[in-house]
């Protein structure tokens, strides 16, 4: 059993020094297939309130539940975010989106920012920590994830319930300077190929996006046109193999699109902005 922790595309927790490799908890975790059994055992020991909770946590980890769900937190960049059972755990690859969301926010005066499909709101939380006072909104359909989002965000952030942009107040149409999102983009046929921790312990609706994985992506791109300000930008994470389909779909329409590639060779952030007169003329 692999942990979410050491894989660079998974989230992280700062693991403490390892305990003895013959300690009973270590033995149980190793038998269950945990690659970093000693370090995980140390983390469970340090965070459990007592022997009873430690026994419960051991059973949950041996059964394959993600370590982040058990201890209730995940490292995302410089932040320690609240997570819990049954929610999508932010991936390390989404730091690319967070970085460029922060850049976009810093380029604008007094911006209004939305994280759609926010889950526990890692992108909005990163923006809040980097650019104080940003007017933040987040939206998701998962009530449990939104509980954690509220914990991860400053009090002034506004949390909306609904799929995509449906839960966002209509009075904000045309006002968002930055919209960032990690919509579900795993193709349905690839679901069974995911790590069992994701398949068994994260909501499928937070993972899959139809036959080609782009159902939620294309809906967001279409809907965002009504919500972006005149100089607004939409930033959407997807797999590099999916970007071409989105770029072809947008050809000749009213949004310019380019790709920001991640170092992993798999992740890309699609950046879409309203087409200007100069960009239109350059195409002729």
Q: Are residues 134 and 182 in the same domain?
A: yes
Q: Helix, strand or coil for residue 51?
A: helix
Is 86 a domain residue?
A: no
Q: What is the rounded distance in angstroms from the CA atom of residue 177 to the CA atom of residue 96?
A: 19
Tokens 């036959």: give the residue.
211
The pLDDT value recorded for residue 23 is 83
The pLDDT value recorded for residue 36 is 87
Structurally, the chain folds into a number of domains equal to: 2
Is 30 a domain residue?
A: yes
Q: Are residues 174 and 208 in the same domain?
A: yes
Q: What is the pTM of this model?
A: 0.89
In 3D space, the residue among 282, 229, 225 whose CA is nearest the CA of residue 250 turns out to be 225
Is 239 a domain residue?
A: yes
Instruction: Give per-residue pLDDT as tens, 176-234.
Output: 999 999 999 999 999 999 999 999 999 999 999 999 999 999 999 999 999 999 999 99
Q: Are residues 138 and 28 in the same domain?
A: no
DSSP 162-196: SSTTTTS-GGGTT-EEEEEE----B-GGGGGGS-H
Residues of the chain with pLDDT below 50 are 1-11, 281-282, 284
Q: Are residues 64 and 112 in the same domain?
A: no
The pLDDT value recorded for residue 71 is 95
Q: Are residues 177 and 265 in the same domain?
A: yes
Q: Are residues 128 and 163 in the same domain?
A: yes
Mark 124-141 as b/e (b = at least 16 C-beta within 10 Å): bbbbbbbbeebbbbbbbb
Contact 13, 74 (CB under 8 A): yes
Contact 126, 152 (CB under 8 A): no
Q: Helix, strand or coil for residue 138?
A: strand
The pLDDT value recorded for residue 20 is 62
Contact 101, 107 (CB under 8 A): no
Is 40 a domain residue?
A: yes
Report residue 280 as tokens: 């239109």
User: What CATH number is given to the structural domain containing 269?
Assistant: 3.40.50.150
Q: Are residues 57 and 99 in the same domain?
A: no
Q: How many CB atoms lie under 10 A from the CB of residue 261?
A: 13
Q: Are residues 61 and 112 in the same domain?
A: no
Q: Are residues 112 and 249 in the same domain?
A: yes
DSSP 65-117: --HHHHHTEEEETTEEEE--TTSPPPPGGGHHHHHHHHHHHHTSSS-EEEEES
Is 52 a domain residue?
A: yes
Contact 187, 211 (CB under 8 A): yes
Q: What is the rounded distance in angstroms from the CA atom of residue 264 to the CA atom of residue 156?
A: 35
Q: Are residues 50 and 100 in the same domain?
A: no
Is 82 a domain residue?
A: no
Is 17 a domain residue?
A: no
Give the chain's radius of gyration (CA, Å). 20
The pLDDT value recorded for residue 14 is 56
Q: What is the rounded distance in angstroms from the CA atom of residue 170 to the CA atom of residue 91?
A: 30
| Domain interval for residue 37 | 24-71
The pLDDT value recorded for residue 217 is 99
Q: What is the rounded distance in angstroms from the CA atom of residue 18 to the CA atom of residue 256?
A: 50
Which residues does 8 contact at the CB level (< 8 Å), separation at least 6? 92, 264
């Amino acid at each position: 059993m692999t942990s979410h922790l050491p894989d660079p595309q998974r989230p992280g927790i700062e693991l403490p020094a390892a305990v003895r490799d013959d300690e009973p908890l270590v033995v149980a975790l190793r038998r269950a297939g945990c690659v970093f059994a000693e370090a995980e055992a140390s983390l469970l020991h340090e965070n459990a309130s007592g022997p009873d909770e430690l026994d419960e946590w051991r059973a949950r980890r041996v059964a394959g539940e993600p370590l982040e769900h058990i201890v209730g937190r995940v490292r995302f960049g410089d932040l320690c975010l609240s997570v819990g059972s049954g929610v999508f755990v932010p991936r390390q690859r989404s730091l690319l989106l967070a970085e460029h969301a922060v850049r976009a926010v810093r380029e604008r005066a007094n911006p209004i920012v939305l994280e759609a499909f926010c889950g526990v709101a890692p992108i909005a939380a990163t923006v809040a920590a980097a650019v104080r006072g940003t007017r933040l909104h987040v939206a998701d359909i998962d009530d449990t994830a939104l509980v954690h989002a509220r914990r991860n965000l400053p009090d002034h952030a506004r949390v909306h319930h609904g799929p995509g942009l449906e839960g966002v107040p209509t009075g904000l149409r045309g006002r968002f300077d930055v919209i960032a999102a990690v919509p579900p983009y795993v193709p349905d046929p690839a679901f069974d190929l995911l790590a069992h921790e994701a398949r068994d312990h994260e909501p499928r609706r937070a993972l899959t996006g139809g036959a080609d994985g782009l159902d939620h992506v294309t809906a967001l791109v279409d809907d965002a046109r009504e919500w972006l300000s005149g100089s607004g930008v939409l930033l959407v994470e997807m797999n590099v193999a999916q970007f071409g389909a989105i770029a072809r779909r947008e050809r000749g329409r009213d949004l310019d699109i380019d790709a920001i590639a991640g170092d992993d060779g798999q992740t890309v952030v699609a950046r879409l902005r309203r087409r200007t007169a100069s960009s239109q003329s350059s195409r002729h």
